[in-house]
Amino acid sequence: MTREERKVIFASSLGTVFEWYDFYLAGSLAIEIGKNFLGGVNPTASLIFTLLIFAVGFAVRPFGAIVFGRLGDLAGRKYTFLVTILIMGASTFLVGLLPGYATIGIWAPILFVFLRVLQGLALGGEYGGAATYVAEHAPAGRRGFYTSFIQTTATLGLFLSLIVILLVRQTMSPEDFAAWGWRIPFLLSIVLLGISVWIRMQLHESPLFAKMKAEGKGSTSPLRESFGQWGNLKIVLLALFGVAMGQAVVWYAGQFYALIFLKSTLRIEGMTAEIYVAIALALATPCFLFFGWLSDRIGRKPIILTGCVLACVTYFPIFGALTHYGNPALFEARSSNPVTVAANPADCSVQFNPFGAGVIKFTSPCDVATAALTSRGVPYAKVDGPAGAATVSVGQTQIQAYDGTAPDAAAQKTAFDKQLGDTLTAAGYAAKADPARINAPAVIGLLFILVLYVTMVYGPIAAMLVEMFPTRIRYTSMSLPYHVANGWFGGFLPASATAIVAATGDIYAGLWYPIVFAAITVLIGILFVREPKGSDIDALV
* Residue-wise DSSP of 198-251: HHHHTPPPPHHHHHHHHTT---S-HHHHHHSSHHHHHHHHHHIIIIIHHHHHHH
With beta carbons less than 8 A apart as the criterion, state whether 426 and 336 touch. Answer: no
pLDDT at 392 (0 to 100): 94
Q: Which of 162, 131, 4 is nearest to 68 (CA)?
A: 131
Longest dimension (CA), the chain: 81
Write down the pLDDT at residue 247: 96
Residue 56: per-residue pLDDT:
75
Residues 24 and 75: their CA atoms lie apart, in Å, by 29
List the helix and strand counts (H, then E) for the chain: 26, 4
Domains of the chain from N-terminus onward: 3-327+435-528 (1.20.1250.20), 336-427 (3.40.30)
Q: Note whether 186 and 95 are within 8 A (CB).
A: yes
* C-alpha span between 216 and 208 (Å, rounded): 12
pLDDT digits (tens, 9 = 90+) for 50-70: 666 766 777 788 888 888 888
The answer to whether 26 and 53 are in contact (CB under 8 A) is yes
Between CA 315 and CA 311 the distance in angstroms is 5
CA 302, chain centre distance (Å): 24
Are the C-beta atoms of residues 23 and 157 closer than 8 Å to each other?
A: yes
Strands (E), 285-409: 339-343, 381-384, 390-394, 397-400
Residue 389 DSSP symbol: -
For residue 182, what is the DSSP state? Answer: G
Q: What is the pLDDT of residue 454?
A: 95
Q: Strand 381-384 vs strand 339-343: parallel, antiparallel, or unpaired?
A: parallel
Strand order in the sheet with 397-400: 381-384, 339-343, 390-394, 397-400
Pairwise CA distance, residues 211 & 265, whole Å? 54
Distance CA 238, CA 203 (A): 33
In degrees and rounded to multiples of 5, residue 381 shows phi and psi of: -120, 145
pLDDT by residue for the chain (541 residues), tens only, comes to 777 788 888 878 877 787 678 767 876 777 787 778 776 555 665 666 666 676 677 778 888 888 888 888 887 777 787 888 888 888 889 989 999 888 888 888 888 888 888 888 888 887 777 888 888 888 888 889 998 988 888 778 877 887 888 889 888 888 888 888 989 999 988 888 888 888 878 777 777 777 777 777 777 788 888 888 898 899 999 999 999 999 999 998 998 899 889 988 899 998 899 889 889 988 998 999 999 999 999 999 999 999 999 999 999 999 999 999 999 999 999 889 999 999 998 888 765 544 444 444 678 899 888 888 877 778 999 899 999 899 999 988 999 999 988 888 889 999 999 999 999 999 988 888 999 999 999 999 999 999 999 999 999 999 999 899 888 888 888 888 988 898 789 878 887 887 788 778 889 999 999 999 999 999 999 999 999 887 777 655 4
